Structure 1
Amino acid sequence: MRHVNDNGFAERRKAAAEAKKLLLKKFETAPKADDPEMVAKRAEREAISAARELRRAERERLKQEANERQLAEAAALTEAATAAERADAEARESAAKDRIARVIADEAERKAERDRRYAARKARQR
C-alpha cells in the first residue's frame, strides 16, 4: 500500500537535509573536551580504570601466590614420595642382605657340623 502523503524526490531530499541539520546541531551543542563536566567525567573514568587495574593486579598476585604455593606443595609431596621410595628400597635391600647373611651363616654352620661328623667318623675308624 502506498503512503498517504506521496513523498516525492524533493520532499525526501528536504527531509534528509533536515536530518543532517539536526545532527550537526546536536554535535554543536555537545559539551567540548575542556568543559568542566566532561573533565570531571573523564577523571571519574580514569579513577575507575585505575581501580580496575589495581584489582586486576591484586587478582594476578593472588593467582601467582596460589600457583607458587601449589608448586611448593607438589615439590614437597614429590620429595616425600621419593624419600619414602628410597627408604622402602633401602629396607628391601637391607632385608635381602640380611637374608643372604643368614643363608651364608646357615651354610657355614652345616659345613662345620658336617666337618665335625667327618672328624668323629675318622676318629672312630682309627
Structure 2
Amino acid sequence: MSQFNENSMADRLKAQAQARQERTTRFRERPAADDPAVLARKAEREAIVREREIRVAAREAARLEAEARRAAEADAERERLAAEAVREAAEKIERATAARLEQKAQRDARYAARKAKARK
C-alpha cells in the first residue's frame, strides 16, 4: 500500500533551491587552477601518464624484439632445412654417380672377361 506523501509543491521547490545553493557553494569553494594542491595533483597525474607511456613503450619494444628473434630463428631454421636438402641432394647425386661407375666397372669387367675368353 502506498503511503501518503505530505510534501507540498513549496517544500519541493525549497529543497530544489537548497540543493542548487549547495552545488553553487561547493563549486565556488573549489580551489583555483593555480592552487598548489591542484598543480601538485596535476603533476602527479602527468607523472603517472608518463610512466604508463614508458611501460607501454617498453612492452612494445620487448614484443618487437621477441618477434624479431622468432623471425630470425625461423630464418635460421629455413636456412638449415635448405642446407640439409642441398646436402641430401648432393649425397643422392654422389650415390647415383658411384652406382653408375660401379655398374660401368662391372660391365667393363664382363666385357674384358669375354674378350680374354675369346682370345684363348
TM-score by length of 2: 0.89
3-state DSSP of counterpart to 2:85: helix
Q: Unpaired segments of 5 or more residues in structure 1?
A: 121-126
Question: What does 1:77-116 align with in structure 2 at a 5 Å threshold?
Answer: 77-116=77-116
Aligned-residue identity in percent? 35
Distance 2:115 2:17 in 1: 130
Q: Say which is worse superposed, 93-102 or 51-60, in terms of deviation.
A: 51-60
Does 2:3 align with 1:2?
A: yes
Q: How many residues align?
A: 119
C-alpha offsets along residues 3-57 of structure 1, whole Å, 9 cap, x if unaligned? 4x51122221221121111111111111121111101110111111111111211
Distance 2:69 2:13 in 1: 70
Distance 2:59 2:34 in 1: 35
Question: What does 1:1-126 align with in structure 2 at a 5 Å threshold?
Answer: 1-3=2-4, 6-120=6-120
Q: Unpaired segments of 5 or more residues in structure 2?
A: none
Greater Cα radius of gyration, structure 1 or 2: 1
